[in-house]
Amino acid sequence: MNGPNPNQQTNWDWRAASNFIFGGAGSGLVVCLVFAALGVSYPWLYLLVSLALVGTGLALVWTELGRPFRFANVLRHPKTSWMSREAYAAIFLMAFGLLSLLSGHPLAYFAAGISGFAFLYCQTRMLNACMGIPAWRVQTSVLLFVSTGLAEGASLLLIIGYLIRSVDQGATIGPIAYVLVLAFVALRWVAWVSYRNSLLASAPTLVIDGLNRFNGMVQVLGHIVPLILIIAAITVPGISALQPVMFVLAALIALSTGWFIKFFVVLLIGSNQGYAIPVTPERGPAGIVFCDKPGWTQK
Amino acid sequence: MTRWAMVVDLRRCVGCQTCTAACKLSNGTTVDVQWRKVLDMETGEFPDVRRSFVPVGCMHCEDPPCVEVCPTTATRKRDDGIVTMDYDVCIGCAHCVLACPYQARYKVTKPKYGYGEASQHEVENFDPAKIGVAQKCTFCVDRIDDGRKKGLIPGVDPEATPACVNSCISDALSFGDLDDPDSKVSKLVESSKTFRMHEELGTGPGVYYIWGAGS
Amino acid sequence: MMKSVNKDDIKTYDTYCYQCVSGPEIVTVTVKNGVATQISPCHRAGEVHPGGGKACVKAFGLIQKTYNPHRLTTPMKRTNPKKGRNEDPGFVPVSWDEALDIVAEKFKSVRAKGALDESGYPRLAASLGGGGTPLSYAGTLSALFAAWGGPIDFSFGSGQGVKCTHSEHLYGELWHRGFTVCPDTPNTKFVISFGASTETASGVCGVKRHADARVAGMKRVQVEPHLSVTGGCATEWVPIKPKTDAAMLFALVNVVVHENARNRLDLAFLKDRTSSPYLVAPNGFYIRDPDSEKPLIWDEATASAVPYDTEGAKPALEGSFTVSGIETGADAETWTHNNVECKTAFQVMLDQMKQYTPEWAGEICGVDVRKIRALANEYLDNAGIGKTIEIDGQILPLRPVAITLGKTVNNGWGGYECCWARTMMACLVGALEVPGGLLGTTVRVNHSARDRRLSVEPGPDGLMYFPFNPTDKEKWVSDPDQRHAGRMLVPLVGNSGWSPALGPTSLAWAAQIDGSQAKMPEMTIPEIWVTFRTNPVVSYWNTDKLADAVAKFPFIVDFAYCHDETNHFADILLPEGTDLESTQITRIGGTKFVESFWRHQGFAVRQAAIEPLGDVRDITWISTEIAKRAGILEAYNTAINKGALSVPLRTKVYDFSLDPTKEHSVDEIWDAACRAASAEVTKGEESDGLDYFKEHGYRVSPFPQVNWYLTPTLIEKGLRYELPYQERLLRIGAELGNRLHEKGINWWDKQLKEYQAIPTWHNFPGIWEDALEEAFDCKIGDYPFWLMTARSMQYSWGANAGIQMIKEVADNIAGHDGFIMNTGRARELGIKDGDMVEISSPNGQVVTGAAVLRQGIRPDCMLMLAQFNHWKTPLAKDFNNMPSMNRLIPMLQDTIDATGSGADLVRVQIKPAGGSR
């Protein structure tokens, strides 16, 4: 059995992480689609990808339920449960998504976008509500997961746009797609730094070790490189031919970084709280000793 | 009002795991599921070392994070403070397991027996409702409720008292109504130095740990 | 109590759990649809049980123990005549008839040759598990043994003598009827515990008493090399080097007698209740009155030497006086002295202890000198000389201080010194056998175990009688009837039913491995070996070689639970009912080890709560069948009638005896025993039988608390405690040496040196180091760690290694899934928590286990809890992380002390084995 020291949670495995990975990216995409004011060709295609991603995430997490055929019970507690709320948001997202696909009406897309954001926010708060997991319960995780969902959505917007254009050279790509990538990757960078700092002060040692181990990669490769690529593609004269490649490369990096961050947070630093006593008991007339939390690093 | 609570006198606990075993047997928990267990905690560096034995389990919090996150309302808090589980409603999402900062909750997807196949007593004690859902200490709520119906007093009459408390050989575990100033738990909390685990998280645990004499 | 709860689906039964020496505890078994499903405390028994009717963790394992699918549920016969660890025994199921006939025929044919073989050793040997607990499960097996009609060899121990508190057993019982010794915890205030495993081995009663005392403010200082569970529950931990405890204890005596004013001692107790004033003549024996031969004391009133029991004399406690008289040494050698200087025994002790300063001890023990001094003074501060307490209407002294000793402290070399020093510390402040002080619990060499006060009989020189084995020429037991030669070599073990288990059991095993010692009868192998609830192939030392020795035993009958390492070599396996499947009664209450102090005494029943699994049988039925088939039924029944079941069936007051000529059923036998028990408890007023006990669980009568204390009895009988001076031991040791040398035996000479009147310090750790270097031609420096062990509450005595639930819950306590070593030391060696490590000792044996890194252990020590390294027992054989020290400890005679005891101690080296847990 586990002792007092914190250890990695095992109740949410790769399937739950997939919900954050696919669901976050999919919902981010639908939000970015609206952000782009639908200034893209074939918006239904983007929406389809978005719904497919969200659906895949939900399907995977459904397989992790202990009683999967009672899944409808998930709707019973929207009053306080972010998981219930996420489920409602998913229903709205799917409903408005379907409506958008059928009607093509911008308002429907807008409603789907709102639902998508709600879904993204709910799943972020769902993670954040896990009080037993120090790396999740910090408030900074909310901005990190929201920002990465949006960054992934923007990245997908860009990538899908170029994919469509490779087939239909007349297709328009959302004019602000790369701006969104730029903005959301920058936001995520801020969120990451803030997230990491909030944990470095006090967290289970294995969380801090993990953060330190991957920080360089996440910051440099995951943020600085794509930002440089996009800025360079925009500002450096004479490389317009390379611009699509640079945009897509930046988007791919931003997307995979986002997915890694979620994998990392859920499955690598998802350490539980551990146990702690603030003071040792008096055994007879003894001086007591004040204790640190075992397995934690505190500044 | 009634607020059922447990008081753990850490000065008394010797880490014998009798409560752990009694709980396992009484609640028919499967292998490696311990609703109640006693931690062996070491503090300090050689040669200035202390060793403490700390019983843990569901803290039956005043503001239980598990109840808040539960999407199905399978986990509820009763007016008397007991955090309950409705196995028939739970979908086994494990959100509550992760919300609990006391690692008190377990999700068992398939039964595991001591020796592979179920032994006779494991067959008798097996409850299929507990498979695939969250499970945890209930303060032996059935004993409490049945006992009260018979006019017994939980924490006083063994038949109405949690199995771990009944079994404790060092009298480290006490149970009772914290809202009753005359109950043993009220008097212990009143007359002792206590803490509650991870109090900084604001969950308001219903388990008090005595670490010293005097208020 | 048996009662119907719900349409006969659920029934509850009271029974007892006696899985450890601190039992029994009464428990309630819940049986649902014929299946035992729950164990719970018997709260009703809280009215009589000092632990509130609770039972420890082991009791809760009984359900799984019963339904363990690895149990053997049918008799089995070996088909492969070759025996060896790597030989498949080829066990095949047989009928009870066939199995019993094989055993009975063997009994008959062997018995027909005579009980003793050509070397004078018993042809029948039997081994039972530790602490005597198997007897409470053995049904009528003891009657079967009695019916054998000749000596049975009980010297093949499963740990007896080397894993108990052996020195305490013998010296404790000699000095104050303390086969085991503990504080009067409910009344004590200050305890120094040298490694006592109170919180893991003193059972429910001990744990409860100490928890209550802690909360009431008792301070307990734990002195031991590793911070055990007990140390964790103590106020303070003092890490001491292994086997140096005697040095620290001597230093405590030194501080008390040489750094403190005399009036801080209980002078009246020392003068009147101990032999301190006796005058010691030049050859080391008491100077005696030539007429009465009584030891002399110096009477300060008349300034003359007078016999110790002279009315009105005012004994001098210390000093040297010019005295005339006679002195009697070994073998009645007598000297006549005229005007020689004779010191009081107390003065001899003072002089001897003068050298053992805290500064001297600190160096040896690795303990801060200030700490040693402080503890001695704190002991004195708390002694409260002059204070009294009322117990059961009697005013008794209150001396709330005690020093307790643990297993390895108390075993082998150094044990005598430690026992002496801590008992002396009690005497110095009058804390021996009074409220708050140091108490014995029970007797096993003397009689009666029911009430140790009854064993207080006048012996020589105003001291208590003790049944030493004779050492004079005429009566010395020169031809041992046990293969360990206990009565021959160890006068202290006496000749009680327990004495065979108290002899030097390692000599018996060592002789099987290495052959007989010089001038001893040729070592033979017992023709029949009966084993019951024991597994020496795992639980003794040098286990690999021991297994090879067992493989040579020609006929082994095991009352089997499951396949294990010992019955791997058996010829017949007889599956007996577990704790919940069979019936008997046992004695409860009074005072008993380890801290069981009751205010009642009587009997409790173990009742068959469920139908036996498969074809397992009640051991009483098995014993009766063997007796009948072997043609010794009448002797068997006669033994039962005489009291083989712990209560005689016929006394002057009652008669429930069985017809010796007839076969009786299990229930008939135990019904008679229950009737006798009822009659004993009620002084003949009641005669309820088995049904009463099944319904009520137990029957007791009051046992007043004042009976816990021995000193009032000594006062009543005008006797003294034999401290500080060991004149009798000095004489006995010299006589024993004479006898052995007359026989040409010199191999016990080192042990003979332990017979000292006042103990002295020897380099006790060095004894082990030297013995290992000599035996294995190694440099001890290459083995830098002391390897030790400690009791586990979950496992010790319980035969629980194969019980999954016990393993699961025990793993919550550090050290149950590996071996413990110091975190800092491990870091220096590059070992991480969980790393697999090879541990080897000079005997060439190697074990592998997972490192558990803890701060609470000296850097030069390692600890392996309990006893594992199973290779046959199902489940336990897969505990790959948990090594046992038993394989690593050689049986070296040099490490055996004069009482025949050794210690769980060896030096080891380690190296990474690769991989981690």
pLDDT in tens, A52-81: 999 999 999 999 999 999 999 999 999 999
pLDDT (tens digit, 9 = 90+) per residue, C857-912? 999 999 999 899 999 999 999 999 999 999 999 999 999 999 999 999 999 999 99
Count of all residues that appear for chain C in the document? 917
Is residue A158 scored above 90 in pLDDT?
A: yes
Helices (H), chain A: 14-18, 24-35, 43-64, 82-103, 106-128, 134-137, 140-167, 177-200, 205-216, 225-235, 243-263
CB C640 within 8 A of CB C671: no
pLDDT (tens digit, 9 = 90+) per residue, C412-423? 999 999 999 999
CA of B31: which chain A residue's CA is closest? Answer: A1
- With CA atoms as reference, report the closest residue to C230 among A208, A274, B53, B203: B53
Using CA atoms, how far apart are residues C209 and C231, in angstroms rounded to an integer?
16
Chain A positions in Cβ-Cβ contact with residue C234 (cut-off 8 Å): 283-284
DSSP B155-213: TTSGGGS-HHHHH-TTS-EEEEETT-TTSHHHHHHHHEEEE-TTGGG----SEEEEEEE
Residue C415 vs residues A75, C194, C202, C566: alpha-carbon distances, Å: 71, 11, 20, 30
Is residue A12 scored above 60 in pLDDT?
A: yes
Report cis status (omega within 30 of 0) of the bond before B133: no
Nearest by CB to B39, from C37, C812, C822: name it: C812
The three-point CA angle A116-A120-A121 to 5° equals 115
Nearest by CB to A272, from B95, B103, B210: name it: B103
Residue A227 confidence (pLDDT): 97
Judge: A277–B44 Cβ closer than 8 Å, yes or no: no
Rg (CA), chain C: 27
Residue C449 confidence (pLDDT): 87
Residue A176 confidence (pLDDT): 84
CB neighbourhood size of A238 (10 A)? 6
Chain C positions in Cβ-Cβ contact with residue B111 (cut-off 8 Å): none
Using CA atoms, how far apart are residues C680 and C682, in angstroms rounded to an integer?
6
CB A251 within 8 A of CB A262: no
Residue C388 confidence (pLDDT): 98
CB neighbourhood size of C80 (10 A)? 11
Q: Per the structure block, which two tokens stand in for C177?
A: 């009827």
Chain A positions in Cβ-Cβ contact with residue B132 (cut-off 8 Å): 65-67
Local confidence band at C819 (pLDDT 50, 70, 90 cut-offs)? very high
Task: Identify the three-state secondary structure at position C453.
Answer: helix
Residue C8 confidence (pLDDT): 54
Helix (H) or strand (E) run with residue C128 in it: strand C124-128
CB neighbourhood size of C204 (10 A)? 29
Q: What is the 3-state secondary structure (H, E, C) of C5-45?
A: EECCCEEEEEEEECCCCCCCEEEEEEEECCEEEEEEECHHH
Judge: A277–B68 Cβ closer than 8 Å, yes or no: no
Using CA atoms, how far apart are residues A271 and C667, in angstroms rounded to an integer?
59
User: Which DSSP letter does residue B151 get?
Assistant: T
Chain A positions in Cβ-Cβ contact with residue B13 (cut-off 8 Å): 281
CA of B92: which chain A residue's CA is closest? Answer: A66
Mutate to test the interface with B, among A1, A76, A81 (most CBs of B within 10 A): A81
CA of B12: which chain C residue's CA is closest? Answer: C211
Query: B176 vs chain A: nearest CA distance in angstroms?
Result: 22
Which phi and psi (to 5°) does residue C284 adopt? Answer: 100, -5
Is residue C295 scored above 60 in pLDDT?
A: yes
Residue B186 confidence (pLDDT): 98
Q: Which residue has the tokens 């300034």?
A: C303
Using CA atoms, how far apart are residues C886 and C847, in angstroms rounded to an integer?
10
Chain A positions in Cβ-Cβ contact with residue C233 (cut-off 8 Å): 283
Residue A285, chain C, CB below 8 Å: the answer is yes
Using CA atoms, how far apart are residues B213 and C199, in angstroms rounded to an integer?
21
Using CA atoms, how far apart are residues C649 and C679, in angstroms rounded to an integer?
10
Give the A window 193-252 contacts with B, CB below 8 Å. Answer: none
Second-level CATH architecture of B4-213: 2-Layer Sandwich (3.30)
Helix (H) or strand (E) run with residue C906 in it: strand C906-916
Helices (H), C705-803: 711-717, 727-742, 749-752, 764-776
Chain A positions in Cβ-Cβ contact with residue C235 (cut-off 8 Å): 283-286
Chain A positions in Cβ-Cβ contact with residue B40 (cut-off 8 Å): 3-4
Nearest by CB to C69, from B11, B119, B123: name it: B119
Residue C705, classified by CB atoms within 10 Å of its CB into exposed (0-12), middle (13-18) or buried (19+), is: middle
Report cis status (omega within 30 of 0) of the bond before B101: no
Domain at C76-164+492-575: CATH code: 3.40.50.740
Read off the amino acid at residue A68: P
Report the pLDDT averaged over residues C837-851. 97
User: Which DSSP letter does residue C478 get?
Assistant: -
Residue B107, chain A, CB below 8 Å: the answer is yes
User: Which DSSP letter does residue A232 get?
Assistant: H
**What counts of helices (H) and strands (E) characterise chain C?**
30, 33
- Please state, for a pLDDT cut of 90, what percent of chain C lies above it: 96
Judge: A67–B71 Cβ closer than 8 Å, yes or no: no
Judge: C804–B53 Cβ closer than 8 Å, yes or no: no
Chain B positions in Cβ-Cβ contact with residue A277 (cut-off 8 Å): 10, 41, 52, 54, 195, 197, 209, 211
CA of B94: which chain A residue's CA is closest? Answer: A11
Q: What residues have CB less than 8 Å from C64, skipping those under 6 apart?
A: B114, B119, B121, C803, C804, C805, C806
CB B89 within 8 A of CB A73: yes
Helices (H), A138-202: 140-167, 177-200
CB C438 within 8 A of CB C194: no
Which phi and psi (to 5°) does residue C259 adopt? Answer: -120, 5
On the CB side of C27, how many CA atoms lie within 13 Å of its CA?
Answer: 31
Query: A14 vs chain B: nearest CA distance in angstroms?
Result: 14
Using CA atoms, how far apart are residues A293 and C163, in angstroms rounded to an integer?
38
Residue A287 confidence (pLDDT): 73
pLDDT (tens digit, 9 = 90+) per residue, C704-763? 999 999 999 999 999 999 999 999 999 999 999 999 999 999 999 999 999 999 999 999
The three-point CA angle C884-C888-C890 to 5° equals 135
pLDDT (tens digit, 9 = 90+) per residue, C786-800? 999 999 999 999 999
Judge: C809–B17 Cβ closer than 8 Å, yes or no: yes
A107-111, long-range: CB < 8 A, 24+ apart: A109/A33, A109/A34, A109/A38, A109/A43, A109/A47, A110/A34
Judge: A288–B197 Cβ closer than 8 Å, yes or no: no
Using CA atoms, how far apart are residues C136 and B144, in angstroms rounded to an integer?
36
Residue C739: alpha-carbon gap to chain centroid = 28
- Please state, for a pLDDT cut of 70, what percent of chain A lies above it: 99
For chain C, the structural domain boundaries read 76-164+492-575, 166-446+712-739, 769-916
User: Which DSSP letter does residue C603 get?
Assistant: E
Tell me what the pLDDT averaged over chain B comes to: 97
pLDDT (tens digit, 9 = 90+) per residue, C227-279? 999 999 999 999 999 999 999 999 999 999 999 999 999 999 999 999 999 99
Nearest by CB to A284, from C217, C808, C811: name it: C217
Using CA atoms, how far apart are residues A76 and A79, in angstroms rounded to an integer?
9
Tell me what the pLDDT averaged over chain C comes to: 96
Task: Identify the three-state secondary structure at position C834.
Answer: coil
Read off the amino acid at residue C671: D
Question: Which domains, from first to last, does chain A contain?
Answer: 14-286 (1.20.1630.10)
Judge: B171–C208 Cβ closer than 8 Å, yes or no: yes
- Please state, for a pLDDT cut of 70, what percent of chain C lies above it: 99
Chain A positions in Cβ-Cβ contact with residue C808 (cut-off 8 Å): 1
Give C166-446+712-739's CATH code, choosing from 3.40.228.10, 3.40.50.1820, 3.30.420.10, 3.30.70.100: 3.40.228.10
- With CA atoms as reference, report the closest residue to C372 among C247, C286, C287: C247
CA of B131: which chain A residue's CA is closest? Answer: A66
CB B29 within 8 A of CB B127: no
User: Which DSSP letter does residue C913 get?
Assistant: E
Residue B91, chain A, CB below 8 Å: the answer is yes
pLDDT (tens digit, 9 = 90+) per residue, B4-62? 999 999 999 999 999 999 999 999 999 999 999 999 999 999 999 999 999 999 999 99
User: Which DSSP letter does residue A271 get?
Assistant: B
Chain B positions in Cβ-Cβ contact with residue A287 (cut-off 8 Å): none
Q: What residues have CB less than 8 Å from B187, skipping those under 6 apart?
A: B181
Q: How far apart are the first and last CA of chain A?
A: 29
Nearest by CB to A283, from C235, C812, C814: name it: C235
CB C913 within 8 A of CB C839: no
Chain B positions in Cβ-Cβ contact with residue C856 (cut-off 8 Å): 42, 46, 49, 51
Is residue C556 scored above 70 in pLDDT?
A: yes
Query: C813 vs chain B: nearest CA distance in angstroms?
Result: 6
Query: C552 vs chain B: nearest CA distance in angstroms?
Result: 33
Local confidence band at C4 (pLDDT 50, 70, 90 cut-offs)? very low
Judge: A286–C220 Cβ closer than 8 Å, yes or no: no
CA of C9: which chain B residue's CA is closest? Answer: B124
Residue B31, chain A, CB below 8 Å: the answer is no
Rg (CA), chain A: 21
Using CA atoms, how far apart are residues C364 and C372, in angstroms rounded to an integer?
12
Is residue B182 scored above 50 in pLDDT?
A: yes
Residue C834 confidence (pLDDT): 96
Query: A283 vs chain C: nearest CA distance in angstroms?
Result: 5
| CATH level 3 topology of C769-916 | Barwin-like endoglucanases (2.40.40)
CB C916 within 8 A of CB C835: yes
Local confidence band at C3 (pLDDT 50, 70, 90 cut-offs)? very low
Report the pLDDT averaged over residues C631-660. 97
CB A253 within 8 A of CB A152: no
Judge: B31–C43 Cβ closer than 8 Å, yes or no: no
Q: Which residues are paired to A103 by β-bridges?
A: none
Judge: C235–A3 Cβ closer than 8 Å, yes or no: no
